[in-house]
Structure 1
């Protein structure tokens, strides 16, 4: 019997009518039924689940295997049974009330095989109001790990696992936990995934349903007690498997925020005497994970919440919980205090003399929202002009100190340039119900390439452009460009500008994928020569000794009179012919006075100043020889096939040999 690619394991308990759609989504997978085996374990259902399973097994006898057992009280035991029977290269755990996008398994297997990864997460979509983790699905990640991504925030097992990973590490679901039984299994799999982890964010892979009857396991299991049973398990798992340091702190962040917040919600429903004891248990449980340095990874709200929990301040914890709930419903963000360059959110108990809570629990300086918009970006001559606005969310624009920051990407050399502050009446009225006013947030700035480096010319490089937005002594820096006027496309605009150091190439463009502005000096990424193009060549209708070369330039600008065609003879002579530009277009014309050329073989190139050149292309073979008279004698010019693999311009100019011409006619 051939080994299936994927074993889909489904634990089913009273899953009707959701089970039907679940199974249909599996059999319809584009990976094909021949690549699948479906193992469904009926965990003592008392509704129509057993009959529906047998019906599907009858329809797909080679695909679906059904196992019946007494109710175990949770999904762990049936999932373990499924693992015991699985034969696939991969395993996918699917809940009986959820379903798959049609291409899910095909995409997941392809992602794993292309990148050699052991686990693949697929984007999850909540149905009927089901809340799901989303932070890990902001972008597709072909290969990452548990320490450099947000995958740990998704500890459910609804993913694709390489079965070898599971068996090699003896992974099974613990059966003694009423909820959270999937977290130890998934966490250990993440930690063991030496081949890496993939994330698919550009396709809806899994649809998870909030059941109308509230029958989802987590929603059925109430109270803080079951949560206080699995949280110590997870904390012990981290302490045993991840050494102290940044990696452990990254994973601890999840438990110190999500789990603690959820537990406080359950504690709020308990009688006061029980709630006090439960909070004390919670404080003791999280203590091994908490240390002073972990505050750097937490939001101010999380720091405050943990401080109150760790100090077993029940009343204050409940008040903060109520504050968070009301904040979620309000349209106005919490006011702040700006003091000595720091910004503090006015959360409950801030500088309350009856509650000694340190200011660091309220410090939002590094997390404060930074708003900006660019309305003008224009390179005129050697000066780049910018305009727009920028402000710190909830910080009134008083004592504004905003500066423009230029930072070279590789060397990190930076220069700070002053801006002219402009008024922005009404700015902010569309958020926070207009409570906060930002009427002096505008800026106008000029970056002069000749003087921006502390009075000296900027060096060649990629100069990233930022704003250091300052108000009331607080300063936050932000790259600008991602928010800009619709008429600013952000596409690269390359031009050649005259500077004190001569002609220089300058390109203003926005980066991918973030769309922030950068000034490219010296063709680091954007070459000038590719913007110079020859379209055609022909003999003038009015002058047989004039070759008309037409072309176009996609440069935004270049110095007038410096685009020329330069011809060089095999004897070393040269002649230059200046391009004539068609006003308000990209077109140019170069009139080569062939009659001025001396006898010889002439090659040519298109030059812009002295720094840039491109070879002139060969003249069309269909172009007949030109003839004219000079000094009473006949002359000619004709295209000569160039030698070598590279085809280029070659023009033979000479007097007509009258004797040879006569003999040629007589021989006809």
Structure 2
């Protein structure tokens, strides 16, 4: 008999009243109960957990299996017990405080099966103030690994694991760690996995902060338990990942997240006599991971913190922790010193001769935030007009050297164009309590597309629009458009422009998705002209039987005057044109095709706009022919079906009275 698809393992200790929602969320999964088994391990609870598990087992017979054991002091032992009993193709660990979105397991199993992956991360959502990880859930990732993604920044076990992977490598949770026991298990699974999937477009796991804050992962306190698992994980990385960029990538988690938490949340609470020992032990533990070559990967605050830890500067470490907390509570960013084209944050001990901390620990040049706003963005003829402001956060706008940058997305071709710098009095007063002002951050750019490519027209391509913001010798590039005035639409505007070559060219100014930055599409790379031309079904004019009327819409922003015409092509490639007539200052137009201008034969119609054309739609199949008298002769026009049935096709001819009479006589004799 085949086993279940997923074994859900729930470690429960004094989990009421959260346990009920947890188990119910599994029972109601859209994957179906036939595909599930739930193994709940009661780790010696002393509240109503045992009784509630008994009740739930009766409510969900055949689904929920309850195991009881003496309290083990942590979640490792009950999870291991669940693993020993699991029969599913996959296992999923769910803490009794948390719960699943209805489609969570169905979506995660589909990701594993569809991509051949061994581990699947489902998007986590914090509940009740609990902070869930976010950096790895910015987009779906069908198949990735720990070295080319941010998945290593979540090492909680609330993930889907292929059980064959777990058993093949003998993975279990270490029972000798009071906290962090999940990290060795998950890290090893990551490294051994054939691939890792990320489901980011659905809320899979709801991570709950209990009202009593007594979550399994929050019971232990003090630095010592965290030093123990940190040492274990550093040893794991050194043994399993060769020195180099891959190890450095994983090490960043510990050198930033773990170290920061330990020195800010635990070290200050220890007695003075043990603080020195803790700091020395921390310095020893992280020493194999941190080297100077990693500094470019670290923000300045992390560099400074690690420098102080390495040199066992306890008082300075504690002062820096207080400074960080105060800065986070404040609405004012730390001031910077700009010198020699670099920016240095004025963090504690900056250029203090008694501490002699290197300037590199304070260098925030690459971390400087950019601010911009666009209040004008429009095409008029072949000229692109852009205006707004842009500056580097915390850097006074002196010696400004901002330029506009056009870069072709696929080829990388660049053109740097000048802007006019404009004053922006009082800019900056709405942030940092007005401490920093940016009086010369304005820009006004006028770009002639006919000469922007070193005196020649910009070639076809997707031209991303950026600014290189320069001030006091520091330059940062930023895409523009995501911050713009409300009156500037995000919808594309397509123009057919002359003066950019022998033929009119399509130029579309649009904003990208999802970021909303401006790009010029020259040459219909993403915005075909024909999509802007729509035509209604033709009809005979009620008052003029010789006139065929076709109404339509042209949503182009601009196009050459009188260029929109209906063209009918007849015998011997003869063509007759009929100009479009605008309707009431809208994007609507009408075509009036007077058939008296056509000679006998078969005629096909199309709408032309410069080099672009679309077929005129055919008359309805039940449309009657029309007749008229011209120069004493009788004429007719009747619709005919062409090969594809999608183009207006009309046969024009003279009525032959004798032939008509013969046909009628023949019909009477028959």
The normalised TM-score by structure 1 is 0.94
- Residues in 2 aligned to 1:583 and 1:78: alpha-carbon distance in whole angstroms: 76
Asked whether the equivalents of residues 139 and 202 of structure 1 are also in contact (C-alpha less than 8 Å), the reply is no
Residue number in structure 1 paired with 2:123: 123
Deviates more, 1:69-78 or 1:281-290: 69-78
- Residues in 2 aligned to 1:21 and 1:518: alpha-carbon distance in whole angstroms: 48
Residue number in structure 1 paired with 2:573: 572
Asked whether the equivalents of residues 403 and 417 of structure 1 are also in contact (C-alpha less than 8 Å), the reply is yes
Asked whether the equivalents of residues 137 and 198 of structure 2 are also in contact (C-alpha less than 8 Å), the reply is no
SS at match of 1:253: helix
Residues 196 and 137 (structure 1), Cα distance of their counterparts in 2 relative to 1, 3 Å cut: closer
- Residues in 2 aligned to 1:197 and 1:316: alpha-carbon distance in whole angstroms: 42
- Residues in 2 aligned to 1:58 and 1:555: alpha-carbon distance in whole angstroms: 66
SS at match of 1:644: coil
Alignment partner of 1:25 is 2:25: yes
The Cα offsets for residues 166-204 of structure 1, whole Å up to 9 and x where unpaired, read as: 112211111111111110001111111213222335325
- Per the TM alignment, residue 329 of structure 1 is displaced from its structure 2 partner at its CA by 0.9
- Residues in 1 aligned to 2:652 and 2:98: alpha-carbon distance in whole angstroms: 81
SS at match of 2:572: coil
Asked whether the equivalents of residues 268 and 318 of structure 1 are also in contact (C-alpha less than 8 Å), the reply is yes
Residue number in structure 1 paired with 2:236: 237
Q: How does 1:572-591 map to 2 (within 5 A)?
A: 572-591=573-592
Residue number in structure 2 paired with 1:167: 167
SS at match of 2:538: strand
Asked whether the equivalents of residues 337 and 345 of structure 2 are also in contact (C-alpha less than 8 Å), the reply is yes
- Per the TM alignment, residue 561 of structure 1 is displaced from its structure 2 partner at its CA by 1.2
- Residues in 2 aligned to 1:211 and 1:369: alpha-carbon distance in whole angstroms: 37
Asked whether the equivalents of residues 565 and 577 of structure 1 are also in contact (C-alpha less than 8 Å), the reply is yes
- Per the TM alignment, residue 136 of structure 1 is displaced from its structure 2 partner at its CA by 2.2
- Per the TM alignment, residue 40 of structure 1 is displaced from its structure 2 partner at its CA by 1.9
Residues 62 and 623 (structure 1), Cα distance of their counterparts in 2 relative to 1, 3 Å cut: closer
Residue number in structure 2 paired with 1:96: 96
- Per the TM alignment, residue 530 of structure 1 is displaced from its structure 2 partner at its CA by 2.7
SS at match of 2:94: strand
Residue number in structure 1 paired with 2:448: 448
SS at match of 1:601: strand
Residue number in structure 2 paired with 1:644: 643
Asked whether the equivalents of residues 79 and 173 of structure 1 are also in contact (C-alpha less than 8 Å), the reply is yes
- Residues in 2 aligned to 1:297 and 1:273: alpha-carbon distance in whole angstroms: 34
Residue number in structure 2 paired with 1:519: 520
Residues 566 and 474 (structure 1), Cα distance of their counterparts in 2 relative to 1, 3 Å cut: same
- Residues in 1 aligned to 2:473 and 2:244: alpha-carbon distance in whole angstroms: 33
Asked whether the equivalents of residues 619 and 639 of structure 1 are also in contact (C-alpha less than 8 Å), the reply is no
Asked whether the equivalents of residues 140 and 202 of structure 1 are also in contact (C-alpha less than 8 Å), the reply is no
Residue number in structure 2 paired with 1:405: 405
Q: How does 1:180-329 map to 2 (within 5 A)?
A: 180-212=180-212, 214-265=213-264, 266-329=266-329
Residue number in structure 1 paired with 2:484: 484
Residues 30 and 571 (structure 1), Cα distance of their counterparts in 2 relative to 1, 3 Å cut: closer
Residue number in structure 1 paired with 2:379: 379
- Per the TM alignment, residue 346 of structure 1 is displaced from its structure 2 partner at its CA by 1.2
Residue number in structure 1 paired with 2:54: 54
Q: How does 1:2-21 map to 2 (within 5 A)?
A: 2-21=2-21
SS at match of 1:571: helix
Asked whether the equivalents of residues 618 and 645 of structure 2 are also in contact (C-alpha less than 8 Å), the reply is no
- Residues in 1 aligned to 2:615 and 2:21: alpha-carbon distance in whole angstroms: 65
- Per the TM alignment, residue 543 of structure 1 is displaced from its structure 2 partner at its CA by 4.9
Residue number in structure 1 paired with 2:552: 551
Asked whether the equivalents of residues 122 and 206 of structure 1 are also in contact (C-alpha less than 8 Å), the reply is no
Asked whether the equivalents of residues 625 and 639 of structure 2 are also in contact (C-alpha less than 8 Å), the reply is no
The Cα offsets for residues 635-654 of structure 1, whole Å up to 9 and x where unpaired, read as: 42413413423442222233
- Per the TM alignment, residue 550 of structure 1 is displaced from its structure 2 partner at its CA by 2.7
Deviates more, 1:330-339 or 1:20-29: 20-29
The Cα offsets for residues 287-320 of structure 1, whole Å up to 9 and x where unpaired, read as: 1111222112111111111111112221211111
Asked whether the equivalents of residues 624 and 638 of structure 1 are also in contact (C-alpha less than 8 Å), the reply is no
Residue number in structure 2 paired with 1:503: 504
- Per the TM alignment, residue 544 of structure 1 is displaced from its structure 2 partner at its CA by 4.6
Asked whether the equivalents of residues 103 and 205 of structure 1 are also in contact (C-alpha less than 8 Å), the reply is no
Deviates more, 1:185-194 or 1:259-268: 259-268
Residue number in structure 2 paired with 1:146: 146
Deviates more, 1:359-368 or 1:459-468: 359-368
Alignment partner of 1:657 is 2:656: yes
Deviates more, 1:342-351 or 1:25-34: 25-34
Asked whether the equivalents of residues 101 and 207 of structure 1 are also in contact (C-alpha less than 8 Å), the reply is no
Aligned length: 665
Deviates more, 1:580-589 or 1:177-186: 580-589
SS at match of 2:97: coil
Asked whether the equivalents of residues 640 and 650 of structure 1 are also in contact (C-alpha less than 8 Å), the reply is yes
Deviates more, 1:220-229 or 1:280-289: 220-229
The Cα offsets for residues 331-380 of structure 1, whole Å up to 9 and x where unpaired, read as: 11111122232222111112222222222211222221112222222111
- Residues in 2 aligned to 1:285 and 1:577: alpha-carbon distance in whole angstroms: 83
Asked whether the equivalents of residues 536 and 551 of structure 1 are also in contact (C-alpha less than 8 Å), the reply is no
The Cα offsets for residues 555-578 of structure 1, whole Å up to 9 and x where unpaired, read as: 121100112222222223222222
Residues 132 and 590 (structure 1), Cα distance of their counterparts in 2 relative to 1, 3 Å cut: closer
- Residues in 2 aligned to 1:649 and 1:262: alpha-carbon distance in whole angstroms: 73
Residue number in structure 1 paired with 2:632: 633
SS at match of 2:407: strand
Asked whether the equivalents of residues 398 and 440 of structure 2 are also in contact (C-alpha less than 8 Å), the reply is yes
- The gaps in structure 2 that reach 5 residues or longer are none
- Per the TM alignment, residue 617 of structure 1 is displaced from its structure 2 partner at its CA by 2.4
- Residues in 1 aligned to 2:546 and 2:18: alpha-carbon distance in whole angstroms: 85
SS at match of 1:320: helix
The Cα offsets for residues 29-52 of structure 1, whole Å up to 9 and x where unpaired, read as: 333333222212222333333333
Residues 47 and 564 (structure 1), Cα distance of their counterparts in 2 relative to 1, 3 Å cut: closer
- Residues in 1 aligned to 2:177 and 2:101: alpha-carbon distance in whole angstroms: 30
- Residues in 1 aligned to 2:202 and 2:424: alpha-carbon distance in whole angstroms: 38
Residue number in structure 2 paired with 1:344: 344
Residues 323 and 564 (structure 1), Cα distance of their counterparts in 2 relative to 1, 3 Å cut: same
- Residues in 2 aligned to 1:657 and 1:127: alpha-carbon distance in whole angstroms: 85
- Residues in 2 aligned to 1:127 and 1:409: alpha-carbon distance in whole angstroms: 41
CA RMSD across the alignment: 2.3
- Residues in 2 aligned to 1:369 and 1:174: alpha-carbon distance in whole angstroms: 43
- Residues in 2 aligned to 1:463 and 1:314: alpha-carbon distance in whole angstroms: 52
- Per the TM alignment, residue 138 of structure 1 is displaced from its structure 2 partner at its CA by 3.0
SS at match of 2:15: coil
Deviates more, 1:80-89 or 1:381-390: 381-390
SS at match of 1:97: coil
SS at match of 2:47: coil
Residues 145 and 58 (structure 1), Cα distance of their counterparts in 2 relative to 1, 3 Å cut: same
Asked whether the equivalents of residues 37 and 64 of structure 2 are also in contact (C-alpha less than 8 Å), the reply is yes
The normalised TM-score by structure 2 is 0.94
